[in-house]
Amino acid sequence: MKIALLGYGTVGSGVYDLVIKNREKIRNKYNEDIEVIQILDRNIDRFKDLAHYNVFVDSIDKIINGKADIVIEMLGGVNPAYDFVKKSLLSKKHVITSNKDLIAEHGEELRKIARESGVRIAYEASVGGGIPVLKPLKESLVGNDILSIQAIINGTTNFILSKMYNENMEYSKVLKIAQDMGFAEADPTSDVKGYDAARKITILTDLGLDFKINWKDIYCEGIDNIDAQDIINAKNLNSKIKLIAFSKAVDNKLYIAVRPVVVKADSTLGKIDNEFNGVMITGDSVGEVLFYGKGAGKYPTASAVFGDIVDIIINKNESKIVLSKENYEFTYKYPFKSDWLVRVDSDDINKVTGKIFDIFSSNRVEITSFLSSGEIALKVSDINEYELEENLLKLKETGYLKAVKYFLIDNA
Amino acid sequence: MKIALLGYGTVGSGVYDLVIKNREKIRNKYNEDIEVIQILDRNIDRFKDLAHYNVFVDSIDKIINGKADIVIEMLGGVNPAYDFVKKSLLSKKHVITSNKDLIAEHGEELRKIARESGVRIAYEASVGGGIPVLKPLKESLVGNDILSIQAIINGTTNFILSKMYNENMEYSKVLKIAQDMGFAEADPTSDVKGYDAARKITILTDLGLDFKINWKDIYCEGIDNIDAQDIINAKNLNSKIKLIAFSKAVDNKLYIAVRPVVVKADSTLGKIDNEFNGVMITGDSVGEVLFYGKGAGKYPTASAVFGDIVDIIINKNESKIVLSKENYEFTYKYPFKSDWLVRVDSDDINKVTGKIFDIFSSNRVEITSFLSSGEIALKVSDINEYELEENLLKLKETGYLKAVKYFLIDNA
């Protein structure tokens, strides 16, 4: 197997190292020789001191027209990765990518091209970094109907939320620390707005629930509006706020979202802290299984890419037909009855409290804290998000409200 | 793919159900028809009310000489499973088994026969029930040198230890409760003595570290000598006692064991409670990844077996050569420096305390509790098990000791 790398940054050089390190092992185990024959970079001069400088090329055409059997794309972003990957597949080269943007945006089309060209496209590293998730989901759990996927799948936001929880600090302060420590990027938008997690959950939902949806169409709420008081309100319920990327199917209703969720501190998801990732998959046969680890980083990601190399070497028959559940009714708001943590700020907290009990008369409402600021936090039970919003709208119409916000509570 | 089931107990009927349920899905995805054509049972009369009674047979010869492509063995125990599986492989039938006794005892030989016969033997369900572990370890993490495997992999003992910890109860009382609740068998020997976990860790070590060893040759200590005071002594260190099945390689020293280990209550392993299983794998590239879930039960186990059916359908090239690390020096005692929780009962606790500081003069020793019974618990740091035992022997020779016991402490 001759390999071409697109990109020689952190992950690219990690993959190169693993190919060197494991070459003999793969020769022994699978009677297959693996070798990196080309590496694409725009500015190859900067690598001229490397012993393998001779394999660097500065044009994608040299790779497309070259002898590589596998092209490994680690450029990130949709362009020019999309073009390069498409050309590689059309030239009957297998493709491995760690690029979640690319797969979330163009996965279906690229898989179709791969099938038609008789090659494979693999992207284990796009979700959960080094933690094996996609392959176990697709292959080991194939006997299951997947009922739900709940994932803490963005290390940056989990680190920030953990620190806010542990040290009672405000979001902006923690973000700064995370940036200083290298856990958040200078422009943290994609992480803190939930876009990164949204891309990953659509990839998981596609593979697990056979449901294809553009990540931009799902409900996506980040963590940048969470303040220290929200964390305290959750603590009062023995809970933490976690940024959960999830999809859940009940009957033929399917809900996919990225949003902050109040989870019990001692629950499986509640115990996933700091920069750790966890993907919890519930299947009708297997029940709940969790895949957990640090995920990100040079060698963890390279480890996932390397697993895909071997997956191509073992040359298995891929599923030929892509199933898509047509009968799912996809909803943008949470359509199932649940509990909610609601925070209300009002000019007249007494009057608004009366109104709350009035408007939510058919739901259990429990005031969980009166805040010194004059706000109240309450837990509203057994209501879906449509009804909740409708009731909160009625509350707004009373004219007493200064502000209201709410979080889904997961009682599992 | 025509399938024959050996055994129609809990797991067997679960697998039957999953084959029926997933038949159309597999036809759609892999263009392959799966069908159970034979089921072996000694007493087939008891199934005569089943709609599929016609597929039951009472002789293995009918299966060996029959048309099945895959034989799924769920009889448990080594005999007659060993004979039946061997015959099936020799007749060029793929074999799937959930039988850890069989694989731990005869796995290497059976894999050799399978290779020579051009068929496969798969046994994902033998470790961790429904949790995907063996395949991710073997395939997804293939780019790693596996440095260690630490597993809580016996639900019965983890349930018992969790209940002892949470409710300060004695072992015998909790065992009784576990038996009443169906979490422990009437004869719990194989679980509580650690034999079940020992079989599983040798299977994991074989696949992960390429090291083959008979499970009977490894150090195996169960939980039946742990009393409420041991749990309290661990609690004093913010820790729990867990039955850990583990293997760990440093340089060329390899240690495999099943033994109670003192782990921090808030560590990854410490948070795995009740009947849950968790397998933590540390690879040199990926770092730590954890596979976690309930594991056992009818449909979880059937889910793993079904994953193996599809693994055979996708017809991948299996690793041809079985690697074995010849250069490992396998040790029966823990050869690495560690901390230990030591419990000493003595006729003269003052004198023995002096002797302890004397004998362990080159180690840090911290007395963690004086017990009302007159015993003491202490933490001895930075010493391997050989030196620890040597020192404890010297302590015994003083004549002051009534009893001594110790636990490995894992500070991770």
pLDDT in tens, A356-382: 999 999 889 998 888 877 899 999 999
Q: What share of chain A is helix, strand, coil (3-state, %, to 5)?
A: 40, 25, 35
Let me know: does A406 contact A388? Beta carbons within 8 Å. yes
Give the pLDDT confidence score for residue A251 in this predicted structure. Answer: 85
- Asked whether the predicted pLDDT for residue A316 surpasses 90, the reply is no
Q: Which of B237, B259, B294 is the last residue of a domain?
A: B294
A26's tokens: 């793969």
Give the pLDDT confidence score for residue A374 in this predicted structure. Answer: 80
B248 and B162 inside one domain: yes
Distance CA(A398)–CA(B303), nearest Å, equals 54
Pairing of strands B376-383, B401-410: unpaired
Give the pLDDT confidence score for residue B202 in this predicted structure. Answer: 95
Average pLDDT rounded to a whole number, residues A343-350: 89
Beta-carbon contacts of B239 under 8 Å, excluding residues fewer than 6 positions away, are B262, B263, B264, B265, B270, B409
Distance CA(B71)–CA(B63), nearest Å, equals 8
Distance CA(B247)–CA(B211), nearest Å, equals 10
B162 and B257 inside one domain: yes
B99 and B235 inside one domain: no
Nearest beta carbon to residue A294 from set B287, B291, B321: B287
Q: Assign A333 a pLDDT band (cuts: 50, 70, 90).
A: very high
Cα B7 from chain centre? 23
CA distance A329 to chain B (A): 21
Does A18 fall in a domain?
yes
Range of the domain at B218: 134-294
- Asked whether the predicted pLDDT for residue A268 surpasses 90, the reply is yes
Range with the poorest average pLDDT among A18-32, A295-309, B75-89, B307-321: B307-321
SS3 A324: coil
Give the pLDDT confidence score for residue B238 in this predicted structure. Answer: 95
Q: pLDDT > 90: what percent of chain A?
A: 84
Look over chain B and give the mean of its residue pLDDT values, rounded to a whole number.
94
Q: Assign B320 a pLDDT band (cuts: 50, 70, 90).
A: low
Residue A39's CB is within 10 A of a number of other CB atoms, namely 27
B139 and B110 inside one domain: no
A21 and A52 inside one domain: yes
Average pLDDT rounded to a whole number, residues B253-266: 95
Does A323 fall in a domain?
no
B220 and B88 inside one domain: no
Give the pLDDT confidence score for residue B251 in this predicted structure. Answer: 86
For chains A and B, CB pairs below 8 A equal 188
Does B167 fall in a domain?
yes
Q: Assign B124 a pLDDT band (cuts: 50, 70, 90).
A: very high
In this complex, is the C-beta atom of A270 within 8 Å of any C-beta atom belonging to chain B?
Answer: no
Average pLDDT rounded to a whole number, residues B305-327: 81
The enclosing domain of B364 has a CATH number of: 3.30.70.260
Give the pLDDT confidence score for residue B372 in this predicted structure. Answer: 73
Residue A334's CB is within 10 A of a number of other CB atoms, namely 20
User: pLDDT per residue over B96-110, tens digit each?
Assistant: 999 999 999 999 999
Give the pLDDT confidence score for residue B295 in this predicted structure. Answer: 74
- Asked whether the predicted pLDDT for residue A322 surpasses 70, the reply is no
Contact A293 B288 (CB under 8 A): yes
Does B302 fall in a domain?
no
Nearest beta carbon to residue A320 from set B31, B287, B320: B31
Q: Which of B109, B126, B143 is the last residue of a domain?
A: B126
Of B303, B320, B304, give the one whose Cα is nearest residue B120: B320
- Asked whether the predicted pLDDT for residue A326 surpasses 70, the reply is no
Contact B135 A131 (CB under 8 A): no
User: pLDDT per residue over B133-159, tens digit each?
Assistant: 999 999 999 999 999 999 999 999 999
In this complex, is the C-beta atom of A393 within 8 Å of any C-beta atom belonging to chain B?
Answer: no
Does B363 fall in a domain?
yes
Does B322 fall in a domain?
no
CA distance A395 to chain B (A): 42
B269 and B383 inside one domain: no
The enclosing domain of A188 has a CATH number of: 3.30.360.10
Give the pLDDT confidence score for residue B224 in this predicted structure. Answer: 97
Which residue does chain A place closest to B278, by CA atoms? A290
Contact A291 B290 (CB under 8 A): yes
B144 and B106 inside one domain: no
Average pLDDT rounded to a whole number, residues A336-355: 92
Pairing of strands B365-370, B376-383: antiparallel
The enclosing domain of B77 has a CATH number of: 3.40.50.720
- Asked whether the predicted pLDDT for residue A36 surpasses 80, the reply is yes
Residue B377's CB is within 10 A of a number of other CB atoms, namely 22
- Asked whether the predicted pLDDT for residue B67 surpasses 90, the reply is yes
B277 and B157 inside one domain: yes
Give the pLDDT confidence score for residue B342 in this predicted structure. Answer: 96
Give the pLDDT confidence score for residue B343 in this predicted structure. Answer: 95
Could you say which residues from 127 to 166 on chain A have a Cβ atom under 8 Å away from some Cβ of chain B? 130-132, 135-136, 139-144
Distance CA(A254)–CA(A325), nearest Å, equals 10
Let me know: does A259 contact A196? Beta carbons within 8 Å. no
Q: Give the residue ranges of the annotated binding site of B.
A: 6-13, 100, 185
Q: pLDDT > 70: what percent of chain B?
A: 98
- Asked whether the predicted pLDDT for residue B226 surpasses 70, the reply is yes
Give the pLDDT confidence score for residue B321 in this predicted structure. Answer: 63
A107 marked among binding-site residues: no
- Asked whether the predicted pLDDT for residue A90 surpasses 90, the reply is yes
In this complex, is the C-beta atom of A412 within 8 Å of any C-beta atom belonging to chain B?
Answer: no
A353 and A213 inside one domain: no
Q: Assign B256 a pLDDT band (cuts: 50, 70, 90).
A: very high
Give the pLDDT confidence score for residue A350 in this predicted structure. Answer: 86
Does A321 fall in a domain?
no
SS (H, E, C) chain B: CEEEEECCCHHHHHHHHHHHHHHHHHHHHHCCCCEEEEEECCCHHHHCCCCCHHHEECCHHHHHCCCCCEEEECCCCCCCHHHHHHHHHHCCCEEEECCHHHHHHHHHHHHHHHHHHCCCEECHHHCCCCCCCHHHHHHHCCCCCEEEEEEECCHHHHHHHHHHHHHCCCHHHHHHHHHHCCCCCCCCHHHHCCHHHHHHHHHHHHHHHCCCCCHHHCEECCCCCCCHHHHHHHHCCCEEEEEEEEEEEECCEEEEEEEEEEEECCCCCCCCCCCCEEEEEEECCCEEEEEEECCCCHHHHHHHHHHHHHHHHCCCCCCCCCCCCCCCEEECCCCCCEEEEEEEEECCHHHHHHHHHHHCCCCCEEEEEECCCCCEEEEEEEECHHHHHHHHHHHHHCCCEEEEEEEEEECC
Let me know: does B376 contact B342? Beta carbons within 8 Å. no
User: pLDDT per residue over A229-242, tens digit each?
Assistant: 999 999 999 999 99
Please give the tally of structural domains in chain A: 3
CA distance A18 to chain B (A): 7
Residue owning tokens 């750790």? A276
A96 and A208 inside one domain: no
A183 and A226 inside one domain: yes
Give the pLDDT confidence score for residue A320 in this predicted structure. Answer: 63
Does B228 fall in a domain?
yes
Give the pLDDT confidence score for residue A61 in this predicted structure. Answer: 97
Give the pLDDT confidence score for residue B326 in this predicted structure. Answer: 66
Q: Is A29 a catalytic residue?
A: no
Look over chain A and give the mean of its residue pLDDT values, rounded to a whole number.
94
Give the pLDDT confidence score for residue B328 in this predicted structure. Answer: 81
Distance CA(B34)–CA(A313), nearest Å, equals 26
Distance CA(B103)–CA(B97), nearest Å, equals 8
Q: Which of B126, B143, B166 is the last residue of a domain?
A: B126
- Asked whether the predicted pLDDT for residue B182 surpasses 90, the reply is no
Could you say which residues from 77 to 136 on chain B have a Cβ atom under 8 Å away from some Cβ of chain A? 124, 130-132, 135-136
Residues of B in contact with A272 (CB under 8 A): none
User: pLDDT per residue over A38-48, tens digit each?
Assistant: 999 999 999 99
In this complex, is the C-beta atom of B314 within 8 Å of any C-beta atom belonging to chain A?
Answer: yes
Beta-carbon contacts of B368 under 8 Å, excluding residues fewer than 6 positions away, are B233, B236, B237, B341, B377, B378, B379
Residues of A in contact with B314 (CB under 8 A): 139, 316-318
User: pLDDT per residue over A162-177, tens digit each?
Assistant: 999 999 999 999 999 9
